Amino acid sequence: MYKTCGEANILLMKAAAAAGVPRFAFISVHEFKLSRGWHAQDFLLKGYFQGKRDAEAELAVSFPTGGVALRPGFIHGERDVGSVSLPLSVVGTPWAKLLSALPSQSLADLPIVGAAFVPPVPVEVVGRAAVAAVLDASVPPGIMDVWQIQKYGAAPGA
């Protein structure tokens, strides 16, 4: 996991910066808190989370004025696993709808249970937010949390 989520992305960022690419979007992951000062990445899928964090650090170095790390939680849409298509939106859409009625941004910071309050995001929304991060200079560099992803990834006219 570290090679895919960290090393490969770091090499890509360095190559893009060396080629003069002005902006770069990186799909990272929401920081899930287990308790004060303890995060999921300290214990779970360590290579995955550490790779994402190391890639974010490189993004800040290689693209200080044009690097955006998108931090979604659960991304939903259709997921192909072999010959089977899993409709993740069957879970993600109602869950997101339920959370839209709650102060999810405040609740997401709660230790342990906060992860349940991070709204799922459709893959299309994440894609549009990433494109905005690369093409729209008004999108600020740095971390784009799930609520900003929803804002920048909203469908035109929505």
* pLDDT tens digits, one per residue of 81-102: 899 998 999 999 999 999 999 8
Residue 61, in any domain of the structure: yes
Alpha helices in 4-145 (DSSP H): 8-18, 46-62, 89-99, 104-107, 123-135
Tell me how far apart the alpha carbons of residues 20 and 45 are, in angstroms, rounded to a whole number.
33
Nearest to 122 by CA among 78, 157, 68, 156: 78
Tokens of 129: 């937010």
Q: Is residue 158 part of a domain?
A: no
101 inside domain: yes
What's the predicted TM-score (pTM) here?
A: 0.88
Mean pLDDT of the chain: 90
pLDDT at 34: 63
Range of 24's domain? 2-152
pLDDT value at position 31?
A: 83
Length of the chain (residues):
158
Q: Which CATH number is 50's domain given?
A: 3.40.50.720
- Residue 143: the pLDDT is 97
